[in-house]
């Protein structure tokens, strides 16, 4: 039967037909047409979904690429443009007072502490003790400076190792010399080797009676990245530490800055009158700059081969990824924290890095992609000019110097940079290129040293993990669980904390919904529509979408409507969320031979056949590195992939609430795997309007095949379930270990119903982890007197939908009859 798209088009067609018949003297037919015209269905019936190719008041959807491709591309482009906008708006985060050096230092004190937190250098250091091997060897007994292996204490169970270069005679200055992480400390003491032009700056300084400490850094080798009893990986050592530390609000950068600051503690204790310089190249330059920005005891800083524009941070190795850094700090802003002290920037070549390497012997191939290239001289100059304005306003322009080594491509620690550094610490310049020989008393075993350093940091991070449940319990213990009313009010503050600190909060969408739809299938029981909504328009062109492949953030999915919807009837909705690399159709297909059916069991189809309206959204975790890079682009602005997903769901809920068949107070969420991850992040932060705001929200949530002791799953290097061994490098959420685990997130659902679906053979985690975490949720609901609103179902099966207890849970709490006739 022909489907007329409007009353007007139907009537126009009838009038045209009547006119034709009259003019052709077909008098016996007009009466039939008049009957048809009079019997045209009512407006509501005309809009019944099974008769329409476009849903309701939406426009026709014209999407040429797959929905997931358009979605991921749009978010990625949006995130990249937001980085550029942040650069322009960064000055708003500061209130610098240039009236005097003292006023200036006071005016940036807040940002200094903020930077310390961002890099995770927040743990208390222990009293420093420096141990020197071969105590009987001193420079005074040697005709030349002596380099000896040393160890010094840093934090509980963590030490630093490196070389101490003792000059002849009493030192007149002190320096901490940081090599690139691809170099060994002795390369700054001895002559260049291995084809890498490394100037032995430590030897040059020692020749001028400077005491020098050269710490060893964690490298980007992967020899120790993994657990030989579980699996080894191709993650760099720095990424291996980064992953577990990031989840605990710590960082490989922060750990190594702490080692530098512990060295400053030693110098402050033993050589308090000496000027102190911190110098570094490449990764060492990064650490030198951050250390000097944080610790005002450092008088002079030399940064070689690191300083530049930082908006492409997401392309660098993931071990440089810093949560919320670029909201407040570019390199020029970090340099401004060093003012009014002296800072020397050297544009030079650095060891270049491409990750993953071509070494396929390390399996699995889990490393996050990243690269380091020598910065263009233009990029260095532009950032230097931004930094220079602060030194100029303080009337100390000579305290900031730019040295260019062979047009920016020469080696680090050039002769000019060395002379400027020596002058800054009141030491004479070098008379010639002749370098005083340094006696290296012992050649340390660099491999064994790195393994020790790795093991210490890993043990420290694992201790943080094991203690974190007590930290979270203390943080959440002040909340009153005596009544639902009091808890509901307190939960508002807790939601805000989680959203801001752990997930990252975007402004609420202000774009019109601008729905576009198209009917994609019709069955005997239901009809399916593909849907696209606007969330955030193109940042550079904030206009509603005029075509569907336009850049910007969109939401989308497939809406399933039962054919037996009655006029004026409103039904509950189940939003079912697919897992990693999935699509909405994976949850709909009834093809039992398909891989999708093995996981989802056609759950969306099952639910619509039970009479629910079902919406299967497309989430943007599809496309491997194409979507994972969104996390990399977003983290420096204090955002994550779920920052976008939350707002996509907010818009989706708003749109669902406009549909005449939807009961906006009965919209439930149910997700499998990554969809289960969504179930404990999105519905808890999107409560219904009667709880917190005027927007519609989720009235219940079901987490399937994901709920577990999430902190341990991300941090542990002793459990085979851990993400430290896999390629899902986007899983890590800043300081989650000290903010909220799955139990805490699930409590934010209360007083709304919450359920866990768990297969005994699910490889996500063992049953014990799941039961441990859920017990805390059940206790919370019981204390509120609503224990009947939460439950867990264990079943014999793998990582899949079971659809038994969960279906009953949906029917009960959505107040929809549970019978096979619907």
pLDDT digits (tens, 9 = 90+) for 547-595: 455 668 999 999 999 999 998 999 999 999 999 999 999 999 999 999 9
Contact 452/157 with Cβ under 8 angstroms?
Answer: no
Instruction: Summarize the confidence of residues 489-495 as an average pLDDT.
Output: 93
Tokens in use for 723? 């993400």
In angstroms, the CA 205 to CA 422 distance is: 8
Phi, psi of 697 (to 5 degrees): -145, -175
Q: Give the CA distances from residue 319 to residues 189, 219, 240, 739, 758, in Å, rounded to whole numbers and listed in that order.
A: 27, 11, 9, 22, 34
Tokens in use for 229? 């009893």
Average pLDDT of the residues of the chain: 90
Q: How confident is the model at residue 820 (pLDDT cuts 50, 70, 90)?
A: low
Q: How confident is the model at residue 56, as a pLDDT?
A: 82
SS3 9: helix
- Tokens 């014990």: give the residue: 768
In angstroms, the CA 665 to CA 332 distance is: 50
Rounded to two decimals, what is the model's pTM? Answer: 0.91
Higher per-residue pLDDT: 33 or 243: 243
In angstroms, the CA 374 to CA 369 distance is: 17
In angstroms, the CA 726 to CA 690 distance is: 41
Higher per-residue pLDDT: 56 or 586: 586
Residue 97: HSE in the Cβ half-sphere, 13 Å Cα cutoff: 12
Is the per-residue pLDDT at 314 higher than 50? yes
- Determine if the peptide bond prior to 751 is cis (ω within 30°): yes
In the chain the first and final C-alpha atoms are separated, in Å, by: 26
DSSP string, 608-624: HHTT-EEEEEPPS--ST
Contact 154/213 with Cβ under 8 angstroms?
Answer: no
Secondary structure letter of residue 429 according to DSSP: P
Element (H, E) at 595: helix 595-600
Is the Cα torsion angle 286, 287, 290, 291 positive or negative in sign? negative
Contact 607/672 with Cβ under 8 angstroms?
Answer: no
Is the Cα torsion angle 466, 467, 471, 473 positive or negative in sign? positive
Q: Residues 6 or more apart from 74 whose CB is under 8 A from it? A: 550, 551, 552, 553, 554
Q: How confident is the model at residue 49 (pLDDT cuts 50, 70, 90)?
A: low
Contact 265/131 with Cβ under 8 angstroms?
Answer: no
Instruction: Summarize the confidence of residues 343-369 as an average pLDDT.
Output: 85
Query: 809: closest CA among 607, 533, 624?
Result: 607
Q: What is the pLDDT of residues 388-439, one digit of tens each?
A: 999 999 999 999 999 999 999 999 999 999 999 999 999 988 876 656 688 8
Query: 250: closest CA among 380, 166, 158?
Result: 158
Phi, psi of 130 (to 5 degrees): -105, 125
In angstroms, the CA 132 to CA 685 distance is: 54
Is the per-residue pLDDT at 42 higher than 80? no
Q: What is the pLDDT of residues 471-487, one digit of tens each?
A: 999 999 876 777 999 99
Contact 586/680 with Cβ under 8 angstroms?
Answer: no
Q: How confident is the model at residue 19 (pLDDT cuts 50, 70, 90)?
A: very low
In angstroms, the CA 469 to CA 672 distance is: 25
In angstroms, the CA 398 to CA 121 distance is: 30
Q: How confident is the model at residue 278 (pLDDT cuts 50, 70, 90)?
A: very high
Q: How confident is the model at residue 25, as a pLDDT?
A: 41
Instruction: Summarize the confidence of residues 597-606 as an average pLDDT.
Output: 97
Over the range 58-68, which residues count as b (16 or more CB within 10 Å of their CB) and which as e? bbebebeeebb
Q: How confident is the model at residue 542 (pLDDT cuts 50, 70, 90)?
A: low
Is the per-residue pLDDT at 665 higher than 80? yes
In angstroms, the CA 770 to CA 683 distance is: 20
Q: How confident is the model at residue 137, as a pLDDT?
A: 55
In angstroms, the CA 366 to CA 240 distance is: 10
In angstroms, the CA 459 to CA 465 distance is: 10
| Cα 452 versus chain centre, distance | 29
Q: How confident is the model at residue 589, as a pLDDT?
A: 95
Q: Residues 6 or more apart from 539 whose CB is under 8 A from it? A: 78, 81, 82, 85
Q: How confident is the model at residue 437, as a pLDDT?
A: 80
Helices (H), 356-396: 377-393
Query: 452: closest CA among 134, 245, 162, 247?
Result: 162
CA angle 441, 446, 450 (to 5 degrees): 130
Tokens in use for 340? 């009014």
Q: How confident is the model at residue 510 (pLDDT cuts 50, 70, 90)?
A: confident
In angstroms, the CA 8 to CA 476 distance is: 60
Q: What is the pLDDT of residues 624-655, one digit of tens each?
A: 999 999 999 999 999 999 999 999 999 999 99
Q: How confident is the model at residue 695, as a pLDDT?
A: 85
CB atoms within 10 A of CB 86: 19
Q: Residues 6 or more apart from 121 whose CB is under 8 A from it? A: 251, 253, 254, 255, 257, 258, 261, 294
In angstroms, the CA 633 to CA 77 distance is: 9
In angstroms, the CA 704 to CA 802 distance is: 9
Q: How confident is the model at residue 274, as a pLDDT?
A: 97
User: For strand 342-347 and strand 400-404, is the pairing parallel, antiparallel, or unpaired?
Assistant: parallel
Instruction: Summarize the confidence of residues 435-452 as an average pLDDT.
Output: 87
- Tokens 């020397």: give the residue: 344
In angstroms, the CA 553 to CA 132 distance is: 58
Q: What is the pLDDT of residues 75-120, one digit of tens each?
A: 999 999 999 999 999 999 999 999 999 999 999 999 999 999 999 9
Higher per-residue pLDDT: 241 or 168: 241
Q: Residues 6 or more apart from 7 whose CB is under 8 A from it? A: 40, 43, 46
Entry field: residues in the chain = 822
Q: How confident is the model at residue 438, as a pLDDT?
A: 85
Element (H, E) at 347: strand 342-347
Phi, psi of 153 (to 5 degrees): -75, 145
Q: How confident is the model at residue 199, as a pLDDT?
A: 86
CA angle 737, 743, 745 (to 5 degrees): 80
In angstroms, the CA 513 to CA 241 distance is: 43
């Amino acid at each position: 039967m022909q489907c007329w798209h409007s009353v007007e088009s139907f009537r126009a067609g009838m009038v045209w037909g009547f006119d034709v018949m009259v003019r052709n003297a077909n008098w016996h037919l007009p009466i039939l047409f008049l009957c048809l015209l009079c019997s045209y269905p009512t407006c509501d019936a005309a809009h019944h979904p099974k008769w329409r190719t476009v849903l309701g008041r939406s426009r026709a959807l014209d999407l040429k690429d797959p929905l997931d491709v358009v979605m991921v591309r749009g978010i990625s482009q949006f995130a990249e443009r937001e980085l550029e906008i942040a650069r322009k708006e960064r000055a708003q985060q500061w209130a610098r007072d240039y009236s005097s050096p003292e006023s200036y230092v006071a005016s940036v004190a807040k940002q200094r502490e903020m930077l310390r937190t961002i890099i995770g250098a927040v743990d208390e250091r222990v009293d420093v003790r420096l141990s020197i091997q071969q105590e009987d060897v001193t420079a005074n007994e040697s005709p030349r400076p002596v380099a000896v292996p040393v160890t010094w204490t840093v934090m509980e169970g963590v030490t630093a190792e490196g070389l101490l270069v003792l000059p002849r005679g009493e030192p007149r200055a002190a320096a901490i010399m940081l090599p690139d992480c691809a170099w060994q400390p002795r390369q700054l003491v001895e002559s260049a080797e291995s084809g890498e032009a490394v100037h032995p700056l430590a030897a040059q300084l020692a020749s001028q009676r400077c005491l020098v400490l050269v710490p060893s850094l964690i490298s980007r080798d992967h020899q120790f990245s993994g657990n030989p009893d579980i699996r080894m990986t191709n993650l760099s050592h720095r990424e291996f530490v980064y992953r577990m530390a990031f989840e605990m609000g710590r960082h490989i950068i922060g750990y190594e800055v702490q080692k530098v600051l512990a060295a400053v503690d030693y110098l402050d204790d033993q050589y308090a009158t000496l000027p102190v310089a911190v110098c570094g190249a490449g990764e060492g330059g990064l650490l030198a700059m951050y250390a000097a920005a944080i610790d005002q005891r450092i008088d002079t800083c030399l940064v070689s081969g690191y300083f530049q524009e930082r908006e492409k941070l997401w392309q660098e190795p993931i071990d440089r990824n810093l949560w919320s850094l670029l909201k407040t700090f570019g390199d020029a802003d970090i340099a401004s924290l060093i003012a009014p002290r002296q800072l020397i920037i050297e544009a030079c070549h650095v060891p270049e890095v491409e990750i993953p390497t071509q070494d396929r012997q390390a399996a699995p191939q889990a490393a996050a992609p990243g690269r380091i290239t020598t910065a263009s001289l233009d990029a260095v100059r532009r950032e230097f000019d931004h930094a220079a304005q602060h030194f100029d306003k303080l009337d100390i322009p000579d305290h900031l110097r730019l040295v260019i080594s062979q047009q920016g491509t020469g080696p680090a620690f050039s002769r000019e940079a060395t002379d400027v550094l020596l002058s800054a610490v009141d030491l004479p310049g070098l008379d010639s290129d002749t370098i005083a020989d340094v006696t290296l008393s012992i050649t340390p075993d660099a491999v064994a040293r790195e393994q020790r350093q790795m093991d210490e940091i890993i043990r420290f991070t694992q201790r943080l993990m094991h203690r974190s449940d007590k930290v979270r319990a203390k943080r959440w213990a002040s909340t009153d669980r005596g009544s639902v009313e009091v808890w509901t009010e307190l939960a508002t503050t807790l939601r805000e904390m989680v959203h801001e600190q752990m997930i990252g909060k975007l402004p609420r969408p202000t774009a019109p919904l601008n729905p576009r739809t198209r009917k994609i299938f019709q069955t005997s029981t239901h009809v399916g529509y593909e849907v696209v909504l606007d969330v955030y328009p193109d940042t550079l062109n904030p206009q509603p979408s005029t075509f569907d492949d336009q850049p910007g953030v969109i939401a989308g999915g497939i809406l399933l409507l039962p054919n037996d919807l009655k006029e004026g009837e409103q039904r509950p909705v189940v939003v079912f969320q697919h897992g990693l690399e999935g699509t909405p159709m994976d949850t709909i297909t009834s093809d039992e031979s398909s891989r999708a059916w093995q996981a989802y069991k056609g759950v969306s189809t099952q639910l619509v056949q039970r009479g629910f309206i079902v919406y299967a959204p497309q989430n943007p975790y599809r496309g491997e590195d194409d979507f994972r890079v969104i996390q990399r682009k977003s983290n420096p602005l204090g955002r994550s992939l779920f920052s976008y997903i939350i707002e996509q769901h907010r818009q989706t809920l708003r749109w669902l609430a406009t549909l005449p068949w939807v009961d906006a107070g009965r919209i439930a969420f149910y997700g499998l795997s990554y969809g289960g991850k969504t179930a404990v992040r999105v519905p808890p932060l999107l409560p219904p309007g009667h709880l917190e705001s005027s927007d519609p929200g989720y009235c219940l949530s079901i987490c399937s095949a994901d709920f577990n002791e999430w902190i341990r799953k991300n941090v542990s290097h002793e459990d085979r379930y851990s993400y430290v061994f896999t390629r899902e490098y986007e899983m890590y959420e800043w300081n989650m270990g000290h903010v909220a685990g799955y139990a805490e997130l699930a409590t934010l659902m209360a007083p709304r119903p919450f359920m866990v679906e768990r297969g005994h053979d699910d490889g996500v985690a063992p049953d014990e982890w799941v039961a441990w975490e859920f017990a805390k949720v059940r206790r919370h609901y019981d204390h509120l007197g609503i224990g009947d609103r939460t439950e867990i179902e264990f079943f014999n099966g793998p990582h899949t939908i079971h659809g038994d207890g969960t279906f009953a849970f949906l029917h009960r709490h959505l107040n929809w009859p549970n019978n096979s006739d619907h």
